[in-house]
Structure formats: structure tokens, C-alpha cells
Structure 1
Amino acid sequence: MFKLTNKQVVITGGGSGIGKAMSILFAKQGATVHIIELNEAAANDTVAEIKTGGGNAEVHKCDVSSQQQVVAVFNSIGKIDILINNAGIAHIGRADNTSEADFDRIYNVNVKGVYNCLFAALPIMKAHNGGVILNTASVAAHVGITDRFAYSTSKGAIHAMTLSVARDYMADNIRCNSISPARVHTPFVDGFIAKNYAGKEAEMFEKLSKSQPIGRMGQPAEIAALALYLCSDEAGFITGTDYPIDGGFITLNN
């Protein structure tokens, strides 16, 4: 089950965190993974790990906020069976203290970046009789989270885009779903804690972990496992759906 032999998979932000876990797992299942990354060094490390394990992967340095770059890279890849829109950045702030520059920065990566990848991938998928798209949303698309105005806005857009694409391209044999993780233990989280809570890292890590009903953060590999199922042939009856993977955050914190 869940084999991806001969599948061409594009994963944005595949060099670290959740994207890295997805890249490694999808390659293990037989796919050729194309990692779209601005951080080329991180992507190269992930590809090296994949190849050491006998898998196939390539790095494509690309700024997803640039449609010209995205279209050029996607066209160079050719056939795309699976697209995972995972690249994203975070921001802390409320509506009245989020600068226009910060709001635009979040929008350009988290929203326009996904649009650019959809714009580039959908014609390719249509030309090859279908495909699968998975977008990384967030629990922030479903519930109010303190000081996450711009980020929540962007993830709400991801949820809406998922529904729109699923509806518009059903007749083209293209499925589109999204996943909504809660807090996941990635290098980004460790860096955030170190930057904002110097000297209190262990205390803050514990606090953030306990803020989720299950009592811990998710692991990147757990998110990757759900992504694998939703992108596999076994999930062929699923489209236009968002899947929370959140340790009970949405339903048990309200």
C-alpha cells in the first residue's frame, strides 16, 4: 500500500521540517522527489540523505513568490503527478501592529506562492490526465490564535483555495486536499524559542507542548504519514477536504 513508484513529486519547502520529512518518506515509497527551496543548502542536505537511502531526489532553487521562477522550474520538471504546497513563513502580530511590509511578506510566500505553484502545475497535470495536490494549511485557518493575524489570514486562504481547486478540476482527474497541523516540533520552533525566550528554552518548550490537549507537539514524520496517504492511490475517493492533524487542538481547546 501507499507505493509511489514512478511518480514525480514536487514538494515546496522540502529542505527542512515537515517538508523534509515528506521528501524523505515519499522518496522511500518510490517517488522521484523534486524539492523546491530558496534555502539550497538545506535542500541539498535532504537530497543527500534521500540518496544515501537509495532514493531519487533533485533540488530546484526557486522563490515561490516569483511566478516567472516557478513556471520555469515546473516546466523543466515536466510531468508532475503530485504537488505538495508546503513552503510557508510565520509572523507574530495583531491587526493593528502588523506592518504593511510584514503582511505583504506573509501574503507573497504563503498565499501567492501557493497560487504560483497551482498556476504552473495545473496545466501540466491536465496535459497528463490528472494528478494530486496537497496544501499545508494550519489549525490557524479554523480557530482564533492569539497574535497570528497575518499568518491566520494566509492559512485561511489556503483552505479556501483547496476547495476551489478541488471543485474546478474534478473533471480533469485532479484531486486537491489540505492538512491543518497544530504545533509541530521542527527546527523553526527551536529557533523561535531560542530567539524569543533566551535562557528559558526548556520551560517554554514544555509550555508550548502542553498547550495542545494531547500534551506534546507533533512530529514531522507524523504529518508526512498523513500526507502520504492523501497523495496515494488509496485515497482516490478523497478531494476537497481539510484534515486537522492537531492532537485535539481544534475540537478540545474550544
Structure 2
Amino acid sequence: MVPQISSVLIFGGARGIGAATARAFTDSGARVTIADLLAEEGEAVAAELGSDRAQFVRCDVAEPQQISAAYDRAVEKFDAINVVFNNVGIARYGTVDELSLDDWDFTLRVNLTAQFVSCKRAVQEMKRTGGGVIVNTASILGHASQKTTAAYAASKAAVMGLTRTVAIDHAGDGIRCVSISPGTIDTPLVQIAARTFKDRKPEDLEREWAAHHPLNRLGKPEEVAAAVVFLASPQAGFITGSDLLIDGGIRSELYA
């Protein structure tokens, strides 16, 4: 593994966990390329961090060529990439008899195939420069599921399998690969999800979701970001192929 984090590529870096992680990496001295479909928000984060330390690249991870273009831009500006954070995920809800094949395919394309495509290019770049770290985003729903989340849960469980295999295939190349499984984190996506229930107040739903966690609150994006920065650091140099639960203890409790 490279001894120092100098250049980081973050997919899904425009807001929430991704933006918090971009800030945390730049605070540690790294330079960051933020790749996201949300141009206005991504440009704002990059401007906040400064043009010498960050850049934004518009990227739809459902399109493999745009993932490749994000890598090209990162290498062009910062010479190399030694950390990649694949912070991507969408959800399409429905039981298996209701969920359309299009929704199933699109969920796996964004949540799983995009991370495969990114890992493929990351390995190629890191072999060239002597190693690095890939952090993939799985989910608590890769460990235990909820109703109507067949596509999402399947995709996130598969991310952990992908992570383990990349880790063992490329340990000899100086590349570590790990995944994280967040619980419910207080991000714009969670807030949007809370507003989709027309018969419930968003604040009531968020309190209910918080109560499911033994810590009795939602997680903070900055808490996930701190874990990602640690996993990418030399201090975590003996960690590879593992998944880190960042879930407020929700997976530990059998009955609430």
C-alpha cells in the first residue's frame, strides 16, 4: 500500500456521506476529485475546498464511459489516484412479484456494476503507481433485509462479495479493498425517503428510524467519513477484504 494518501477519487461526492468524506480527506492533506451526477452541489463542494485541492467531474455511474472519464480527469489534474471511494447507491422498492425487471437491472447497474467498473479501473491505476486503497459502499441491508428491498439488498450483499474477491486477487499488487455498511445516516437521501410517506410526518419517521438503533439516533455523515479516512490510511494497513458496520448497533440486537 502507498505510504501516504495524496489523491482521492470519490464517486457520489456531492452531498451527504460523499461530501463529508471529501472534506475529511482534504483536511488530512489529500487532494480530491468529486464525481457525481449532481453538478450544482458538486461544484459547490469543490469550490469550498479550493481549486488546488479539489475538482468536480460530472459523472453518471450508470454509464461506464463516464466512470472512466472521471478517472482520466483525476489523473490529469493530480497525476495519480491512490484512494477510491465508491459511494454509490439507489433504491427501487417492491416485492419480487411487483418489482419490474427494469428496476431490478437499474438498481444492480448503479449499486453493483458501477462499483465493479470503478474497481477495474482503480486496480489498473494503482498497479501503475505502486498500490492504493479501494473503499466500496455496501449497506446494513447487505447483512439483514427489510420488506420490498430485494434489489437493493441483493446489490449491497454482492458488493461485499466483490470487495472480498478484489482484496484477495490484488493484495500482491499492494492494493487493499474494503467495504462499509452504514445504517441509517442523516443524509439528504434519508430526508427525501422520509418525505415519500404521504400519511406520515418526516420528523416522526426519522425519530422512528432512529429508535431502531441501540444508540437511539441516526448516524452522521461525518462519522462515516472518519471511518473511510481511517480505512484508507496506513494505520489500517492490515485490514483488507473486510466489511465495517457503521450502524449504531442495529445489527447487534435481535429483538428491539
- The answer for the alignment partner of 2:49 in structure 1 is 50
Q: Counterparts of 1:78-227 in structure 2 under 5 Å? A: 78=75, 79-197=80-198, 200-227=201-228
Contact 2:224 2:246 in 1 (8 A): yes
Determine if the alignment matches structure 1 residue 76 to structure 2 residue 77.
no
Amino acid at match of 1:59: F
TM-score by length of 2: 0.92
- Measured at CA, do residues 197 and 33 of structure 1 come closer, stay the same or move farther in structure 2, by a change above 3 Å? same
Amino acid at match of 1:117: S
- The answer for the alignment partner of 2:18 in structure 1 is 19
CA distance in structure 2 between the aligned counterparts of 1:146 and 1:55, rounded to whole angstroms = 45
- The answer for the alignment partner of 2:57 in structure 1 is 60
CA distance in structure 1 between the aligned counterparts of 2:17 and 2:217, rounded to whole angstroms = 16
- The answer for the alignment partner of 2:7 in structure 1 is 8
- In the TM superposition, residue 204 of structure 1 has moved relative to its aligned partner by 1.3
- The answer for the alignment partner of 1:34 in structure 2 is 33
SS at match of 1:238: coil
Contact 1:92 1:148 in 2 (8 A): yes
CA distance in structure 2 between the aligned counterparts of 1:14 and 1:104, rounded to whole angstroms = 23
CA distance in structure 2 between the aligned counterparts of 1:72 and 1:111, rounded to whole angstroms = 19
Amino acid at match of 2:86: N
SS at match of 1:169: helix
Contact 1:27 1:33 in 2 (8 A): yes
Give the alignment's Cα RMSD to 1 decimal. Answer: 1.7
Q: Deviations over 1:3-59 (max 9, x none)?
A: 966x110000000111111011111111110011111111011112222xx971101
- Measured at CA, do residues 197 and 253 of structure 1 come closer, stay the same or move farther in structure 2, by a change above 3 Å? farther
CA distance in structure 1 between the aligned counterparts of 2:209 and 2:104, rounded to whole angstroms = 25
Contact 1:27 1:55 in 2 (8 A): no
- Unaligned runs of at least 5 residues, structure 1: none
- In the TM superposition, residue 71 of structure 1 has moved relative to its aligned partner by 1.8
Amino acid at match of 2:19: K
Bigger drift between 176-185 and 209-218 goes to 209-218
Bigger drift between 13-22 and 96-105 goes to 96-105
CA distance in structure 2 between the aligned counterparts of 1:46 and 1:124, rounded to whole angstroms = 25
Contact 1:4 1:26 in 2 (8 A): no
SS at match of 1:9: strand
Contact 2:137 2:159 in 1 (8 A): yes
Contact 1:4 1:30 in 2 (8 A): no
Contact 1:184 1:219 in 2 (8 A): yes
SS at match of 1:196: coil
- Measured at CA, do residues 45 and 253 of structure 1 come closer, stay the same or move farther in structure 2, by a change above 3 Å? farther
Q: Deviations over 1:51-90 (max 9, x none)?
A: 2xx9711011111122222223313322110000002112
Contact 2:17 2:222 in 1 (8 A): yes
CA distance in structure 2 between the aligned counterparts of 1:17 and 1:198, rounded to whole angstroms = 26
Using the aligned pairs only, state the percent identity: 36
SS at match of 1:228: helix
